[in-house]
Structure 1
Amino acid sequence: MLRLDAEHVMRPVEAGDGPALARAYLTNRAHLAPWEPTRDETFFTDAWQEEDARRCVTDAAAGRSIRFLIVSTDGEIRGRMNLNNIVRGAFWSADLGYWIDASRLRRGLATRAVRRVTEYARDELKLHRLQAATLVHNAGSQRVLAENGFVRIGSAPKYLRIAGEWQDHLLFQRLLEEPFSSRPARP
């Protein structure tokens, strides 16, 4: 368990998290809709979320990914941090993805959580780099990445199908051997 502040901790997804995840996704449905793939109704059910939580546990045990929950002192899920597509060999890299509960925006929670998951990737997973992609117009997420030393490395036209459309993304990376200090992202 990683402490983020007096109100929040970050911990890996566990079996049994399905109902709390379903509640968090339902609460944030409208907030997340512009930033995520189109979700059908089953995604928001306890059963679907529990099955996904179990997949998360299996993927973590196999070293393919690790997904974290941001949990507040009231026990509610307030966000997720995902290290997906962990690759070893000559690459030693992973993709970073995340979201924060609408009620917790603009408090620095995403910035702290990205920093902790980046430290985890460096110290525990011994990765060389993290990559993140944001929608071109997601200035908030781009600020969070810049504050954590990610630099823009390019753009990807029609990169992911988000909100029902293939959308352009900006690509960022963080080399983990570099010291942790804030750097502005390249325009």
Structure 2
Amino acid sequence: MDSSALTVSLTATVQLRLVRPEDGASFAEAQERSREQLVPFEPRRAAEWYNADFHAERFAVLLEKDNLVPWVLAEGDRVIGTATLSNIVHGAWRNGDVGYWVDVAETGRGLATAALDAVCRLADEVLLLHRIAASTNHDNVRSQRVLEKCGFEQYGFARNYLHINGAWRDSNLYHRILNEREPGEPSV
């Protein structure tokens, strides 16, 4: 797929675009900067997680997957967040799972909401999906607000859903129905 079809301007200076292997260094720096903020919401990370070469290789692999779309929020060449649509299933289900994150130095700018809105629009209009699902740690109120602002509704609660920060954590389950058209038909 043409990467320009999956690129959106979120603000005058921030773009949502596909990740590139050369984003590894900037991503690793942003993760290091945000390490404390992310601890309650992420799996425990090995030291290699903060290594630019590790992410350059990881990004190259991610770009080869056909059931995943890995975006970065980029201000010039600087990575300030990510959004990923994963577990994409076509056919009768036409579903994907979304995750997102914004650098601690960039929070409060509305970037998570803008990125999630853009991902939903691209999932609907370009990827022709019907539904997007998301989960948040049960106590991650900020992420839940972003989901609700973007039209997601909570449809469930899962005990011990994800292994986060060294323990199994409860999650709230959300989804957004993007359209009611037949599977694979473009929007009008």
Structure 2 residue matching 1:16: 3-state secondary structure: helix
1:89 shift after superposition: 2.2
1:49 CA drift (Å): 0.7
Q: Measure, in 1, the Cα distance between the counterparts of 2:58 and 2:161.
A: 24
TM-score of the superposed pair, with normalisation by structure 2: 0.89
1:64 to 58, 61, 67: 67
In the alignment, what sits opposite 2:4?
A: none
Which position in structure 1 is the counterpart of 2:51?
45
Structure 2 match to 1:184: none
Aligned to 1:182: none
Query: Could you give the per-residue CA deviations for residues 49-84 of structure 1, whole angstroms, max 9, x where no partner exists?
Result: 11111111111xxx21001000114x3111000001
Query: In the TM superposition, what whole-angstrom CA distance separates every residue of 1:76-103 from its partner, at most 9, and x where no partner exists?
Result: 1110000011011221100000101111
Q: 2:60 aligns with which of 27, 32, 54?
A: 54
Percent identity of the aligned residues?
Answer: 35
CA distance in 2, matches of 1:45, 1:72: 21
Distance 1:43 1:107 in 2: 26
Does 2:28 align with 1:22?
yes
Match of 2:3 in 1: none
Pairing partner for 2:161 from 156, 159, 162: 159
**TM-score normalized with structure 1 length:** 0.90
Q: CA deviation at 1:111?
A: 0.7
User: What are the ranges of 5 or more consecutive residues in structure 2 without an aligned counterpart?
Assistant: 1-6, 181-188
* Amino acid in the other structure paired with 2:140: N
- Once the two structures are superposed, what CA deviation does each residue of 1:161-183 show, in whole Å capped at 9, x if it has no partner? 011110000000000017xxxxx
The aligned amino acid for 1:11 is R
- Distance in 1, Cα, partners of 2:71 & 2:100: 9
Distance in 2 (CA, whole Å) between partners of 1:137 and 1:50 is: 32
Moved segments of 4+, more than 4 Å: none
> Secondary structure of the residue that 1:19 maps to in structure 2?
helix
Query: Paired residue for 1:8?
Result: 14
Instruction: State the shift of 1:7 in Å.
Output: 2.5
User: Distance in 2 between the 1:133 and 1:11 partners?
Assistant: 23
Partner of 1:104: 106
The answer for the alignment partner of 1:145 in structure 2 is 147
Deviation at 1:15, TM superposition (A): 2.4
Question: Residue 113 of structure 1 aligns to a residue in which SS?
Answer: helix
Q: C-alpha deviations, 1:5-54, integer Å up to 9, x for none?
A: 12211100122221122112112111112111100101111121111111
Residue aligned with 2:20, SS:
coil
- Match of 1:56, as an amino acid? L
Q: How far apart in 1 are the matches of 2:37 and 2:61?
A: 25
Q: Secondary structure at the match of 2:22?
A: coil
